Amino acid sequence: MKNKIAIIIGSISDKKTIEGCLDILEQFELDFTLNIVSAHRTPELLFDFAKTAVDKYDIIIAAAGGSAHLPGMVASLTTLPVIGVPVKSSNLNGVDSLLSIVQMPGGVPVATMAIGESGAKNAALFAIRILSLNNNNLKEKLKTYINKQTQTVIETEVY
Protein backbone atom coordinates (compact mmCIF):
# COMPACT_ATOMS: atom_id res chain seq x y z
CA MET A 1 0.00 0.00 0.00
CA LYS A 2 1.13 3.47 -0.86
CA ASN A 3 -1.04 5.20 1.77
CA LYS A 4 -1.50 8.01 -0.72
CA ILE A 5 -4.78 9.64 -1.65
CA ALA A 6 -5.59 11.58 -4.80
CA ILE A 7 -8.10 14.36 -4.40
CA ILE A 8 -9.51 15.79 -7.58
CA ILE A 9 -11.94 18.64 -7.99
CA GLY A 10 -13.83 19.70 -11.08
CA SER A 11 -12.88 23.37 -10.76
CA ILE A 12 -11.05 25.74 -8.44
CA SER A 13 -14.37 26.88 -7.00
CA ASP A 14 -14.77 23.37 -5.51
CA LYS A 15 -11.68 23.84 -3.30
CA LYS A 16 -13.67 25.59 -0.56
CA THR A 17 -15.89 22.52 -0.21
CA ILE A 18 -12.95 20.13 0.08
CA GLU A 19 -10.91 22.10 2.66
CA GLY A 20 -12.25 20.07 5.61
CA CYS A 21 -11.12 16.91 3.82
CA LEU A 22 -7.62 18.33 3.41
CA ASP A 23 -7.50 19.34 7.09
CA ILE A 24 -8.37 15.83 8.26
CA LEU A 25 -5.84 14.17 5.95
CA GLU A 26 -3.16 16.56 7.24
CA GLN A 27 -4.20 15.85 10.83
CA PHE A 28 -3.69 12.14 10.15
CA GLU A 29 -0.37 12.92 8.42
CA LEU A 30 -1.43 11.23 5.19
CA ASP A 31 0.18 11.85 1.84
CA PHE A 32 -2.21 13.30 -0.73
CA THR A 33 -2.34 15.40 -3.85
CA LEU A 34 -4.98 17.89 -4.93
CA ASN A 35 -5.56 18.57 -8.62
CA ILE A 36 -8.20 20.09 -10.86
CA VAL A 37 -9.46 17.51 -13.32
CA SER A 38 -12.62 18.49 -15.17
CA ALA A 39 -14.69 15.76 -16.79
CA HIS A 40 -16.06 18.24 -19.29
CA ARG A 41 -13.28 20.76 -19.85
CA THR A 42 -10.22 18.47 -19.62
CA PRO A 43 -11.43 14.99 -20.66
CA GLU A 44 -8.02 13.84 -21.88
CA LEU A 45 -6.46 14.85 -18.56
CA LEU A 46 -9.20 12.91 -16.79
CA PHE A 47 -8.48 9.79 -18.86
CA ASP A 48 -4.72 10.05 -18.32
CA PHE A 49 -5.16 10.63 -14.59
CA ALA A 50 -7.60 7.76 -14.08
CA LYS A 51 -5.67 5.23 -16.13
CA THR A 52 -2.37 5.89 -14.30
CA ALA A 53 -3.76 6.53 -10.79
CA VAL A 54 -3.39 2.90 -9.68
CA ASP A 55 0.40 3.25 -9.95
CA LYS A 56 0.49 6.24 -7.59
CA TYR A 57 -2.49 6.11 -5.22
CA ASP A 58 -4.63 3.82 -3.09
CA ILE A 59 -7.84 5.86 -3.08
CA ILE A 60 -9.36 8.70 -5.09
CA ILE A 61 -11.64 11.35 -3.62
CA ALA A 62 -13.46 13.22 -6.40
CA ALA A 63 -15.53 16.33 -5.68
CA ALA A 64 -17.76 17.76 -8.37
CA GLY A 65 -20.79 19.98 -8.76
CA GLY A 66 -23.56 20.35 -11.29
CA SER A 67 -23.75 17.35 -13.58
CA ALA A 68 -20.91 15.87 -11.46
CA HIS A 69 -19.57 13.31 -13.92
CA LEU A 70 -16.04 13.39 -12.48
CA PRO A 71 -16.32 10.64 -9.82
CA GLY A 72 -18.18 8.23 -12.09
CA MET A 73 -15.94 8.75 -15.08
CA VAL A 74 -12.84 8.18 -12.94
CA ALA A 75 -14.41 5.07 -11.39
CA SER A 76 -15.10 3.70 -14.86
CA LEU A 77 -11.41 3.97 -15.75
CA THR A 78 -9.69 2.61 -12.62
CA THR A 79 -9.83 -0.28 -10.17
CA LEU A 80 -9.15 2.03 -7.21
CA PRO A 81 -11.89 2.91 -4.73
CA VAL A 82 -13.46 6.24 -5.68
CA ILE A 83 -15.23 8.38 -3.10
CA GLY A 84 -17.55 11.02 -4.56
CA VAL A 85 -18.28 14.32 -2.87
CA PRO A 86 -21.23 16.28 -4.28
CA VAL A 87 -20.51 20.01 -4.32
CA LYS A 88 -23.37 22.34 -3.45
CA SER A 89 -24.44 24.18 -6.59
CA SER A 90 -26.19 27.52 -6.84
CA ASN A 91 -29.13 26.20 -8.82
CA LEU A 92 -30.20 23.05 -7.00
CA ASN A 93 -28.16 23.21 -3.77
CA GLY A 94 -26.13 20.15 -4.73
CA VAL A 95 -29.05 17.77 -5.17
CA ASP A 96 -28.16 17.57 -8.87
CA SER A 97 -24.57 16.68 -7.95
CA LEU A 98 -25.67 14.11 -5.40
CA LEU A 99 -27.98 12.36 -7.83
CA SER A 100 -25.36 12.38 -10.58
CA ILE A 101 -22.81 10.73 -8.30
CA VAL A 102 -25.01 8.29 -6.41
CA GLN A 103 -26.93 6.98 -9.44
CA MET A 104 -24.05 5.02 -10.97
CA PRO A 105 -24.93 2.01 -13.08
CA GLY A 106 -24.27 -1.43 -11.62
CA GLY A 107 -20.63 -2.37 -12.11
CA VAL A 108 -19.20 1.14 -11.67
CA PRO A 109 -19.23 1.79 -7.91
CA VAL A 110 -18.67 5.20 -6.35
CA ALA A 111 -18.95 5.58 -2.59
CA THR A 112 -21.04 8.74 -2.32
CA MET A 113 -20.86 11.12 0.62
CA ALA A 114 -23.22 13.89 1.72
CA ILE A 115 -23.48 17.18 -0.13
CA GLY A 116 -20.89 19.81 0.71
CA GLU A 117 -18.42 20.21 3.54
CA SER A 118 -19.75 17.39 5.73
CA GLY A 119 -19.42 15.04 2.79
CA ALA A 120 -15.84 16.20 2.20
CA LYS A 121 -14.87 15.54 5.82
CA ASN A 122 -16.54 12.13 5.71
CA ALA A 123 -14.73 11.33 2.46
CA ALA A 124 -11.41 11.81 4.26
CA LEU A 125 -12.53 9.70 7.20
CA PHE A 126 -13.87 6.98 4.92
CA ALA A 127 -10.57 6.90 3.04
CA ILE A 128 -8.75 6.64 6.36
CA ARG A 129 -10.98 3.73 7.40
CA ILE A 130 -10.13 1.92 4.17
CA LEU A 131 -6.40 2.52 4.59
CA SER A 132 -6.53 1.52 8.26
CA LEU A 133 -7.51 -2.02 7.27
CA ASN A 134 -3.83 -2.62 6.50
CA ASN A 135 -2.22 0.00 8.73
CA ASN A 136 -2.36 -0.45 12.51
CA ASN A 137 -0.80 2.95 13.20
CA LEU A 138 -3.54 4.63 11.19
CA LYS A 139 -6.16 2.46 12.91
CA GLU A 140 -4.97 3.70 16.31
CA LYS A 141 -5.06 7.33 15.15
CA LEU A 142 -8.60 6.75 13.91
CA LYS A 143 -9.68 5.26 17.23
CA THR A 144 -8.20 8.27 19.03
CA TYR A 145 -10.01 10.66 16.67
CA ILE A 146 -13.34 8.88 17.22
CA ASN A 147 -12.87 8.74 21.00
CA LYS A 148 -12.02 12.46 21.11
CA GLN A 149 -15.12 13.25 19.04
CA THR A 150 -17.27 11.16 21.40
CA GLN A 151 -15.72 12.76 24.48
CA THR A 152 -16.40 16.24 23.11
CA VAL A 153 -20.09 15.43 22.79
CA ILE A 154 -20.27 13.87 26.27
CA GLU A 155 -18.54 16.85 27.88
CA THR A 156 -20.71 19.46 26.19
CA GLU A 157 -23.07 20.99 28.70
CA VAL A 158 -26.52 21.97 27.61
CA TYR A 159 -28.38 24.53 29.66
- For 67-124, strand residue ranges (E) read 82-86, 111-112
Single-letter amino acid code for the residue at 75: A
Is 14 one of the annotated binding-site residues? yes
Element (H, E) at 32: strand 31-36
C-alpha pair distances (Å), 132 with each of 3, 22, 121, 140: 9, 18, 16, 8
Which of 37, 109, 41, 38 has its CA nearest to residue 80?
109
The Cβ-side half-sphere exposure at 83, using a 13 Å CA radius, reads: 24
By the 8 A CB rule, do 28 and 132 touch? no
Is 90 one of the annotated binding-site residues? no
How many CB atoms neighbour CB 62 within 10 A? 30
Is 41 one of the annotated binding-site residues? yes
Residue list, annotated binding site: 11, 14, 41
Residue list, annotated binding site for substrate: 11, 14, 41
